[in-house]
Each structure stands twice: as C-alpha cells, then as structure tokens.
Chains A and B, each alone.
Chain A
Amino acid sequence: MFRSLTLAIALGFILGAVALGFLPLLWLGLGQGGFHFDDYLPRVVGFTLKQAFLSTLLSVAIAFPVALALARRRFFGREALLKIFSVPLALPAIVAILGIVGVYGNSGPFGGLFSIYGLTGILLAHVFFNMPLAVRLMLTRLEAIPAENFRLAAQLNFSTGQVFRFIEWPQLSSAITGISSLIFLLCTASFAVVLILGGGPQATTLEVAIYQSLRLDFDPARASILALAQLVTCGLLVLVAGQFAREIQVVPPTLAKIRRWDGKSRLSKTMDGLLIAIAVVIVVPPILSVALSGIGNIRPDASLLRATATSLLIGLASASLSIALGWVLAETAARQPRSILKSAITLACLASLIMPPAVLATGWFVTLSPIADMSRYAIFLVIILNALMALPFVWSPLYPAITDSVQRHDRLCSSLGLSGFARLKLIDLPVLRKPLGLAFLMAVIVSLGDLSAIMLFGSDTLVTLPALIFRQMGNYRMNDAAGTALVLAAFCFALITLAQRWSQSHDQA
C-alpha cells in the first residue's frame, strides 16, 4: 500500500515534469507550423550534428591507438596517468573550458596557434572531455582480455599486428559503436562548451540556441520549435545508443595479472611513447592551468561565498530529491519481471537524456511564466531540473544493488514478517548504505557542475559557482574566474574521491 503510494507519487512527479515540459512545446511548436521557418533551424541542427560527429570522430580516433598503447605498456607513472585521465570526467565543464582558454586563449602559453572560438574550440574542448573517457572505456575492455590469450599469442609467436588482429580488435570492435554513440549523445546535448566557445549563429547548437531564444531574445515560440528539434534528435540518438549500451557495460577485469610479449620492437615502443605523449599534451595542460592560475586568485568575497552556499544548497536538495525518486522507482522496478511498468520506470529515469535540460526548461518556462513570477520559483525549478539530470547517475548504482537485495532478502523478510520501517532500518538501510551514498555523491556532483539549468532559470539573485564563473568570464575578470573555478573543482574532487573510495570498498564487499 505504502509502496504503491510512493511509486505513484514518484512516477507522477517525473511524468508531470516531463509532460509540463513537453506538451506546451508540442502546442506552441506545432501551432507555429514550424514549416514557414527560415533556414535558421536547419542550420542549427546541421551544426549540432556536424560538431558532434567531428568531436566523436576525433575523440575515438585518438583514443583508439592510445588505449592500445596504454594496455600494452607498463611504465612508471602509468597509474597516475590513468588517474589524470579521469579528471576531465570529474571536472565541471565550465572549469575545464576555463582551463582550455587559459592554455590556448590569446594570453595563454599556446595562444595564437589557432582561434579557440568557433568549431575549432568546440572540437578541442569535446576531445579534452571525451578522448580520456573513450580511452578508459576501451582500456577496461582490453584489460578484460584473458591472460591466457597473450600466453597463447606468445607461444604461437604472434606479431604485434597479429595480436591486434586476433585478440585486441575483436575485443574492441564491439565496444566502439557503443562508445561512439555515447560520445555523440554527450556532444549533441553539450551546453557549456558551445555557449562559451561557440559564437554567433554559425557555431551554435540546439541546446544553446534554445537558451538564447528563451533568455536573450524572449522568443518562446522559436525556443519551442528548437526544443522539439532537440527532442527528436536526442530521442533518436538514445534509441540508437540504447542498442549499444549493453556493449559498453564495464567488464570485470581478469584476476590473473596480464603479461604481454608483443610490441618489443623499438619502432613499436617509440610509437606507443609518442601516442601516450600526445594524449598527455591534450589532457594535462588545461588541468594544470586551472590549478596554477586558480591558486593565487581565490578571493573569498561576498559573491564567492554566496555562490558557494547556493551551489551546496541546490546540490544537496536536488541530490535528496533525485535519491528519493530513484529509490522508490528502483524498489518497484526490481520486483517487476519484464513488465511494461518496469520499462516505463527505466524510461522515466533516463528522461533527462532524451529531454535535455533546455527542452524541459522551455516547456516549464512557457507554462509557468504567464501565471507566476519565474524568479520566485527559479531555485525550485533548478533543483527539480538538476534532480532529473542526476537521475541516470543515481539509477546506475542504485538499481542493481536494490535488485540484488530484493532477490536475497524478500523471501526471508516476508517469512519473518519484516516489513515497513522495521525492514528499512534493519535490512535496507545497512545493505544499501554504500550504493545510496555513492548515488547521492554522484547527484551532488552533477548539480554542482550544472550550467544549463542555472543559466536557463538563474538571475542576479540566484547565482551558483558555475554561473559565477560564467559571469566573471563575461566581464573579463579572468583571475576571479580562475579562483572560483578552483574552488568548484576542489569541491568536485573531494566528492569524487569520496565516491571512489566508497565504490571500491563496495566492490570488495
């Protein structure tokens, strides 16, 4: 009884939020016709897909040989290097962008090599984020190759090329489509990168164009049409990516220590060294720039303290909401063998991938702005939007843990008559403590780094850390921006480190 009530509330909440976002779009967008539109829409859609395609191509093309080289080699500092490769994933987009501007911008050490605004800059930033991601995903695949395969290769005298042909390529080829579609999806919905590095109508994506229509041009009708286009694009992509999602699941590494006998030639060693060096040159300088230029520039003035407090408040509130939704939904889904309800729940949790923040926000904006003063509810809208954005990240640790717990404990609990609060306290909380903690941390991190929700609903009185960085950059106060960025990065790192510790001790349990 209690369970169905909470389920109804959670599902109702998400569906309500989605419907409120979607229906007005359909109404307004289709009412407009959308047909007698000039070439603006096709141009924006075209650029969105073009930059996503090129970003994906570059990221995967660089990551592929780098992952092979890293899998082949054991060297001093390799572990540290892999840790550094996880930094771009943890860094809020705007912090990383600041780092990239610091290195390749006009006043940076590599300044003047090329313009970082427009397509080049967008590609550079997307490669910075996604190349290391692809390397890590490919490396987990390569490290899951049984140690026996390499022993067999050594016994049969495989050359480096034959090891690639018979062992590495078969292992990677099935993962590449999955990794590519994931990166493509991330780049399609990328907001901060394009907002800051993109410029003008030539280099804008749907997500940013929606923001500009809503907040700068006050044109909800155009925003609606753009949002519909974004919805169709992302919906199709999620459908495609979903086909491959299974293939990028993390494979458990083999227990045996892998030793390899291939790649002994000097040429092969030089090539691998060169590849790893290229990857280092892409990844490390922006990170260094964030750390170095931030360190002397942290000025704890009122705006920084206020933004920090706002960020933490929104982070904690949206994480709590996200956990509440995810938990209730996972409890139900874990007990549903392949029903429609289960698919509905899974879909609800992935809603924010299909409907990126700007799409949802447009609908809410259109619905709410005639009846209420948006600025008064802005913080709640940001919290709800962040909670929905975090839901996929909450879902992925929580759902398997709850499924496991349900399978282990449901029969015993019902035979002992253990239910409700007693069960929650005695069984569920102790068992789920770690996945819950992990999910909570992930949700806080998502919210802390969010720029899209806050840009869409924020105002002079509602400023989070990323929004403050954006403002400071806009006013050319780069030093202040660097200080704020370092504060934000420090928070994210503290949380990520905690999350990693937690998940590792969870694995061992």
Chain B
Amino acid sequence: MIKLENVGFRYEDMVMNFDLQVAVGELVGIIGPSGAGKSTLLSLIAGFDLPVSGRISIAGADMEGVAPDQRPVSMIFQDHNSFAHLDVWTNVALGISADLKLDPPQRKRVDEALARVGLSDFKARKSTELSGGERQRIAIARALVRDKPVLLLDEPFTALGPALRRDMLDLVREIQKERKLTVLMVTHQPEDAKYAASRIAFVQIGRIAHVLPTKQFFAASAPADIGDYLK
C-alpha cells in the first residue's frame, strides 16, 4: 500500500534515506530516538516535505508532484489539529469541504463521525473548551469524514495519560479494522506500539534500521540497538 524506495531527504546537517513497505490494513508503529527522522518520514509520505531522490508510491500511484490534498492520506499531529476559534462540528466539516457548503448527506456524515468518536454532545463547543483527548478525537472524526485509505499519526497521544492513551489506541484500532485503513503511527511510548501495532519500524539517524513483527521487536532476541533504545 505504501512503498518508499531509497527516499532521500536533507534536514539541516542530517541526510536521511528511507526504505519501507507497508501492506494494506497494517498498523505499523514507528519508534526510535528523538531527531532520528520519524516525523520527517510521515511528512514525506503526506507531501509536506519533498524528497530529493527516490520514489514514494501509495496504492501503486507515484506521489511525485502530487500536492498534499491530492494524496490518499490523512494525518493527525501531536498538537494544533483543530482551529481554536471554530466549534467542533465545523472543525470536522472542514474535512469534507473547505468552503463549508455541505449538503444534507454530508452533514449526516459529519454527525455520524462525531458520534463514532464520542463527541456528539460537544458539537457546538469550541475546541479550546475540550480536553486534550477530546481534541484529538476531533482530528480522528475529521479523518473519518475524509475517508482516505492511509492514516498517519504523528505522536497524537503523547500528551495523554496511560489510560486515556489506551482508549484512544482502541478507537484507532477499531476504526482501522472497520475501514481497512493502513496506519503508520510514530510514538515515543514503546508500550503504545506494543499494544497497537502489528509491526514496528525502528528509525535511527535518518534510516529505518529494522522492521520487525511486534513480538520479535520486544523479544530478548531483538537486535542490540533496539535493546539499547528500549532500556
């Protein structure tokens, strides 16, 4: 579903080079030290950063020259996923149409997405009035109405407590199964990846050092650099 071949990128002094293949319906965790290039990897796939070399394809289509809004991708950031001065409903509706002219079926889709993430009672609230977890639910609801096959999560739950994080991960996994989404999730908490991901990519100094099934990743037999990071 997602294929990165020899994708090169430069950020200040750091030269990065990524190779990765993700199958349809997979949830792959991406972990590694700070500054290794985890977020850049997602930015490249979403089209916010452009590679200097190599090839990115999604669902078989080459992404070169494809604008961010044309890619079959939704991305959720760690923060600032909603516009503070707009209410919850509008924030989600922007996922369907930026000029906010929605026909009745589209309005229904927004309502359903809000119900799906448990925000039905908060439609008219401003996002600043919501908790951190609820704010991230807005972003998930918007991803639902956008209905793109790939979902990129850039540490969206880092600021939340353990129990809440577990709830959010459950929600993501349910939606992933319902919609057969392909999910890449960057996280700083290895236990989150262990809980949700089927495979884990280990990013170090601008490369994907290992991609292993979750069980093997956390096994004692895992490569030494993974063990060092997890210590």
Contact = CB atoms under 8 A, between A and B. Distances in A.
Contacts of B68: 151, 154-155, 261
Contacts of B79: 146, 148
Interface of A: 146, 148-149, 151-152, 154-159, 162, 166-167, 170, 259, 261
Nearest to A259: B48
A66 to B, nearest CB: 24
Interface in B84-129: 84-86, 94-95, 98-99
A170 B68 CA distance: 24
B80 A162 contact: no
B98 A151 contact: no
Contacts of B69: 154-157
Contact of A155 (B73, B80, B84, B85): B73
Nearest to A145: B80
Contacts of B80: 146, 148-149, 152
Contacts of B84: 170
Given A151-B77, A155-B74, A156-B69, A170 B99 contact: no
A151 B42 CA distance: 12
A162 B48 contact: no
Contacts of A162: 98-99
Nearest to A147: B80
- Secondary structure dominating the interface of A: helix
Q: Which of A146, A149, A152, A156 gathers most chain B CB within 10 Å?
A: A152
A500 B10 CA distance: 32
Contacts of A148: 77, 79-81
A156 B95 contact: yes
Contact of B83 (A149, A155, A157, A259): A149
Q: Which of B80, B84, B86 gathers most chain A CB within 10 Å?
A: B80
Q: Which of A152, A154, A155 gathers most chain B CB within 10 Å?
A: A155
A157 B83 CA distance: 15
B86 A166 contact: yes
Contacts of A159: 98-99
10 contacts: A151-B68, A151-B75, A152-B77, A154-B47, A154-B48, A154-B68, A155-B46, A155-B68, A166-B86, A261-B68
A158 B77 contact: no
A154 B95 CA distance: 11
A155 B67 CA distance: 8
A170 B85 contact: yes
A149 B84 CA distance: 11
A146 B73 CA distance: 20
B113 to A, nearest CB: 15
B175 to A, nearest CB: 18
A149 B74 CA distance: 14
Given A156-B98, A159-B98, A166-B94, A261 B83 contact: no
Interface string B13-36: 000000000000000000000000
Contacts of B73: 155
